[in-house]
């Protein structure tokens, strides 16, 4: 079995470690929820930023082409060379324009950037068919006519977004169509521009989904696939959304979504931008926080265990001194337990043990029955009725031999029952033990106090015959004062008093039994004259 000191240190270590684990779990769980909410909102915001940027760029390019379409060079196409120079300059200034051309009313390309498709007919292409009356903006598609005519360093399939518009003469008649193909790589540039700052903080992927759920922009292996996520059914224009979604790869992702809502006169193409991050990566800061809390908890547990071990040594040192003194007392090396200073409990324990040893020593000399535990009350340690019956004849003989008198006190506690009723029997037992300690403190050499039962006690005092009543009254007043002091119950303080009935032997009667009865009657009078007082038979006769 370990020492109290070791157990105390171990208990502190376990408590600190357990508290750290509990706090780590609670904080980790709360942090995970907060981080998930924060990251989810961030993903929804960057999704909106990207789809808004795409919409704005599309609207700006359409507006720019509308301005170009109103130029005299196009509305009065007298010089095709001038138109070609204009288109080449436009492509140079805006690299996202992969091809731009000017057709006649039949769809034949009259002029184009770098001369690509000049003389060819695009009459059957949507870029011409849909733009004869109003501005046409077409969704992402792969190149058909231009696939082999435009430079393609990557070798990947080329994709375009079409913007075309009619060109009218001054009289309002159609003179041609200005058609352009915007390279879809422009969307990837937008993605990279928005992704770069957030990528430093978390690993995020972007997706652009068409109106038919086809993946337009994503990692290469997913482009062209149909994506089915429950959250796609919930996202609406003007309201970004985030949710935890299971993707086709079977993994859980924090997913932010934003639906295209167009910009100004551009109504949008129904694109949805999605930003996602793996759930494990999103929770990584929370796991790291929990790990740091646990590591600090272990460190603090060791530190507090050491501090607890040192403090326990400080507080248990008086206990060891008491134990050593008790061993020396048992061996006959010393005659009493020394008084120890320290905490109130240690001092009380030291005083109690000293009083107990002193009482045992005195009673062993006077009575001889104190060596038997059966003669003592189990709760208070005071002599009981059996011990009292053995003690009284010897006290009577000693008093006669010394020409002394015996002062007999019956004591009954006042206000004890309400304490029992209000605070319980455990508190009542504590009060009785404290009363016993205080009664012992009022005794002198050769005196005895016994517990008769409940809250009733009997004190037997050796007093000189010439001033027996005065001495008895002095001890009674001291006893009343000792018991009137508050008693600490931990969370509460209570007060009890006592009533004392006294008689003197052989002054009141030569029969010791009758003297006890006289003291009992005096107690009855004391209880009925106001309590918290001492009444003596001898004094009442005067």
Q: What integer pLDDT is reported at residue 461 of this predicted model?
A: 93
Q: What are 246's strand-pairing partners?
A: 252
Q: What integer pLDDT is reported at residue 369 of this predicted model?
A: 42
pLDDT digits (tens, 9 = 90+) for 110-156: 888 888 888 888 888 888 888 888 888 877 766 665 656 565 555 45
In sequence order, what DSSP letters do the residues of 131-185 get, joined into one string? Answer: TSSS-EE---EE-SSSTTTS--TT-SPPEEEEEEEEEE-TTS-EEEEEEEEEETH
Assess if residue 428 is contained within a domain: yes
For range 9-15, the mean pLDDT: 71
Q: What integer pLDDT is reported at residue 479 of this predicted model?
A: 93
Q: Average pLDDT of the chain?
A: 79
In sequence order, what DSSP letters do the residues of 199-242 get, joined into one string? Answer: HTTS--EEEEE-TTSBEEESSGGGTT-B---GGGGT-BBTB-EE
Assess if residue 450 is contained within a domain: yes
For range 198-216, the mean pLDDT: 76
For range 195-209, the mean pLDDT: 71
For range 511-529, the mean pLDDT: 92
Q: Which of 69, 90, 81, 68 is nearest to 168 (CA)?
A: 69
Assess if residue 354 is contained within a domain: yes
Q: 25 pLDDT exceeds 60? A: yes
pLDDT digits (tens, 9 = 90+) for 442-493: 988 889 999 998 899 999 999 998 899 999 999 999 999 999 999 988 888 8
**Which of 528 and 73 is assigned the larger pLDDT?**
528
- Pick the most confident of 168-182, 200-214, 265-279, 471-485: 471-485
**Which of 31 and 241 is assigned the larger pLDDT?**
241
CATH of the domain at 398: 3.30.70.270
For range 67-80, the mean pLDDT: 82
User: Strands (DSSP E) along 339-435, which ranges?
Assistant: 404-414
**Residues of the chain above pLDDT 90, percent:** 18
For range 416-442, the mean pLDDT: 91
**Which of 146 and 59 is assigned the larger pLDDT?**
59
Assess if residue 30 is contained within a domain: no
Q: What integer pLDDT is reported at residue 438 of this predicted model?
A: 93
Assess if residue 297 is contained within a domain: no
**Which of 152 and 56 is assigned the larger pLDDT?**
56
ω into residue 506 within 30 of 0, thus cis? yes
Q: What integer pLDDT is reported at residue 500 of this predicted model?
A: 95
CA 106 to each of CA 44, 81, 122: distance values in angstroms, whole numbers, following the listed order: 46, 20, 9
Q: What integer pLDDT is reported at residue 1 of this predicted model?
A: 45
**Which of 176 and 198 is assigned the larger pLDDT?**
176
Assess if residue 282 is contained within a domain: no
Assess if residue 373 is contained within a domain: yes
Range of the domain at 393: 335-540
**Which of 19 and 467 is assigned the larger pLDDT?**
467
**Residues of the chain above pLDDT 70, percent:** 73
Active site residue 429: no
Cα 82 from chain centre: 75
Would residue 531 be called left, alpha or beta, if left means φ above 0 and alpha means ψ between -120 and 50 degrees?
Answer: left
Assess if residue 82 is contained within a domain: no
Tell me the pLDDT band of 300, cut-offs 50, 70 and 90.
low
Q: How many Å apart are CA 383 and CA 366, to the nearest integer? A: 13
User: 219-223, 272-276, 477-481, 482-486 — which is least confidently predicted?
Assistant: 219-223
Tell me the pLDDT band of 367, cut-offs 50, 70 and 90.
very low
For range 506-513, the mean pLDDT: 92
pLDDT digits (tens, 9 = 90+) for 322-365: 777 777 766 666 656 666 666 666 667 667 776 776 766 666 55
Q: What integer pLDDT is reported at residue 156 of this predicted model?
A: 55
pLDDT digits (tens, 9 = 90+) for 384-408: 999 999 899 999 999 988 889 999 9
**Which of 8 and 120 is assigned the larger pLDDT?**
120
For the chain, the domain total comes to 1
Q: How many Å apart are CA 156 and CA 161, to the nearest integer? A: 16
Q: How many Å apart are CA 437 and CA 336, to the nearest integer? A: 17
- Catalytic residue from among 55, 240, 455, 508: 455
């Amino acid at each position: 079995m370990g020492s109290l000191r070791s157990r105390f240190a171990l208990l502190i270590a376990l408590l600190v470690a357990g508290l750290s684990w509990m706090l780590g779990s609670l904080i980790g769980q709360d942090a995970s929820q907060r981080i998930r909410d924060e990251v989810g909102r961030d993903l929804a915001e960057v999704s909106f930023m990207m789809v808004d940027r795409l919409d704005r760029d599309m609207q700006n390019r359409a507006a720019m082409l509308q301005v170009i379409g109103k130029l005299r060079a196009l509305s009065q196409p007298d010089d095709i060379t001038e138109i070609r120079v204009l288109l080449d300059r436009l492509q140079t200034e805006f690299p996202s324009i992969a091809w731009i051309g000017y057709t006649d009313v039949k769809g034949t390309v009259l002029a184009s950037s770098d001369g690509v498709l000049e003389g060819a007919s695009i009459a059957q292409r949507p870029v011409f068919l849909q733009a004869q009356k109003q501005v046409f903006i077409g969704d992402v598609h792969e190149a058909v006519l231009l696939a082999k005519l435009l430079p393609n360093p990557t070798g990947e399939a080329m994709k375009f977004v079409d913007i075309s518009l009619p060109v009218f003469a001054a009289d309002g008649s159609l003179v041609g169509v200005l058609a352009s193909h915007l390279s879809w790589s422009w969307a990837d540039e937008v993605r990279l521009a928005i992704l770069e700052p957030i990528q430093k903080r978390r690993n995020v992927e972007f997706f652009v989904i068409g109106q038919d759920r086809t993946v337009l922009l994503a990692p290469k292996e997913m482009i062209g696939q149909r994506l089915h996520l429950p959250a796609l059914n919930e996202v609406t224009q003007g309201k970004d959304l985030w949710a935890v979604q299971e993707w086709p790869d079977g993994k859980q992702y924090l997913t932010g979504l934003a639906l295209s809502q167009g910009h100004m006169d551009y109504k949008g193409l129904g694109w949805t931008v999605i930003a996602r991050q793996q759930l494990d990566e999103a929770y990584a800061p929370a796991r790291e926080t929990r790990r740091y809390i646990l590591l600090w908890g272990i460190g603090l547990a060791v530190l507090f265990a050491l501090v607890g071990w040192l403090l326990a040594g400080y507080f248990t040192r008086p206990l060891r001194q008491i134990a050593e003194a008790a061993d020396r007392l048992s061996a006959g090396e010393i005659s009493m337990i020394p008084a120890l200073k320290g905490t109130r409990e240690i001092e009380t324990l030291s005083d109690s043990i000293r009083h107990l040893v002193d009482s045992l020593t005195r009673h062993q000399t006077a009575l001889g029955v104190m060596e038997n535990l059966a003669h003592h009350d189990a709760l208070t340690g005071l002599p009981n009725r059996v011990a009292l019956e053995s003690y009284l004849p010897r006290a009577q003989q000693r008093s006669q031999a010394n020409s002394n008198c015996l002062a007999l006190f019956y004591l009954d506690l006042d206000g004890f029952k309400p304490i029992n009723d209000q605070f319980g029997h455990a508190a009542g037992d504590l009060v009785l033990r404290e009363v016993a300690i205080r009664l012992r403190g009022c005794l002198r050499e050769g005196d005895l106090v016994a517990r008769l039962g409940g809250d009733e006690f009997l004190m037997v005092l050796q007093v000189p015959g010439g001033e027996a009543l005065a001495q008895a009254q002095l001890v009674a007043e001291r006893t009343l004062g000792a018991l009137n002091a508050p008693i600490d119950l931990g969370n509460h303080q209570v007060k009890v008093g006592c009533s004392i009935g006294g008689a003197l032997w052989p002054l009141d009667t030569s029969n010791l039994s009758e003297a006890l009865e006289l003291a009992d009657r005096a107690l009855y009078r004391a209880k009925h004259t106001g309590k918290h007082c001492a009444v003596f038979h001898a004094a009442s006769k005067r």
